[in-house]
Amino acid sequence: MARTTGNYSYEMEVRHEKDQNGIKAVPSSYPTHSLTWRGNLARKLRIKNELARHTLAEFFSTFFLMIFIESTVASQALAGQKQDLLLIALGQGLGVTMGIYVSGGVSGAVLNPAIGVAFSIIGKLTWIHTFFYAMAQYAGSFLAASLVYGIMYEPLEVYDGGVRQVVDNANGTGGTGTWWATLPPDHRSIGGAFLHEGACTAFLVIGVLAITDDRNWKPHKGFIPFAIGMVVTTILLGFGANEPVSMNPARDFAPRMFALLAGYPLEMFSINNYGYFWIPIVATHLGAIIGALLYTVCIELHHVPQEEDTPIFPDEGRDREKKPSR
């Protein structure tokens, strides 16, 4: 094949190869290679639709996150350290970190339906993404609960004697409802539990927005998952000693539903005369929205405007109008 470069022409030996785009000529000096089994599989299975690809990432990362959230509580109970708040807070914070690492570069690792709704309200996520992400997050959380239940089944049989109990018996043992969902303490009213859950979720969203704000002291993106995990751990250490806190409706409702299907009594929902199970759903959404609005109004709106905020700065616009075009 003759090739021309500038005023020079030369002959180049070529061979013809066929790929998914058809037949093309390549220099004979190029090495021949074939796709590995992984490359061939990726070419056949790769999801081209962005929304579907991101939804799958949210499903898998939430599943991965919830494995550690639930297994941390279960393991501490089996080890006789049911009230070891430090280990539980660290374990759950690191679980959040791992979940963000799994899909942060694909979907942004929202992992939380309440945060998705809050992000949509302040314009950081489309509503269609929020809807499909939420469905994936609830499904991932449900699947994680079923896997943890299967792994922990034999120790659980020993722990509760084969009788599934939501709360501890008169001897202070046997209750495993908190392995799957949050339960209200005796000293909490409905209003107090709602305020507690909503406030903690607001604190979480404020921390997430601060850490991911490009115009604030945003850390290197590789450190962001650790920083958000530390926010979760800090909230649990500060507000999780006397009562559990969810901050994520998918973390609470889906495992609660699984526990009911796995043989736990209806008390998983009817505790406090059905006055509690809805709080980790409603309060988390309301708290996330309040936290997002507070950060936006108090911090984000007051950043110094940059060129991408306005097409032309007022002063620069006047200067440009005075300068004659060349």
User: pLDDT tens digit string along 103-148?
Assistant: 999 999 999 999 999 999 999 999 999 999 999 999 999 999 999 9
User: How far is the C-alpha of 250 from the C-alpha of 257, rounded, in Å?
Assistant: 11
For position 215, what pLDDT does the model report? 92
* pLDDT score of 32 more than 60: no
Percentage of the chain with pLDDT > 70? 82
The radius of gyration computed from the CA coordinates of the chain, to the nearest angstrom, equals 27
List the domains of the chain with CATH numbers. 52-302 (1.20.1080.10)
For position 10, what pLDDT does the model report? 45
Residue 19, strand partner residues = 22
Say what the pTM is: 0.83
**What pLDDT, in 10s, does the model give residues 67-100?**
999 999 999 888 877 667 899 999 999 999 999 9
For position 177, what pLDDT does the model report? 92
User: How far is the C-alpha of 127 from the C-alpha of 123, rounded, in Å?
Assistant: 9
324: confidence class by pLDDT, cuts 50, 70, 90 = low
Residue 16, strand partner residues = 25
- Written as one letter, the residue type at 101 is Y
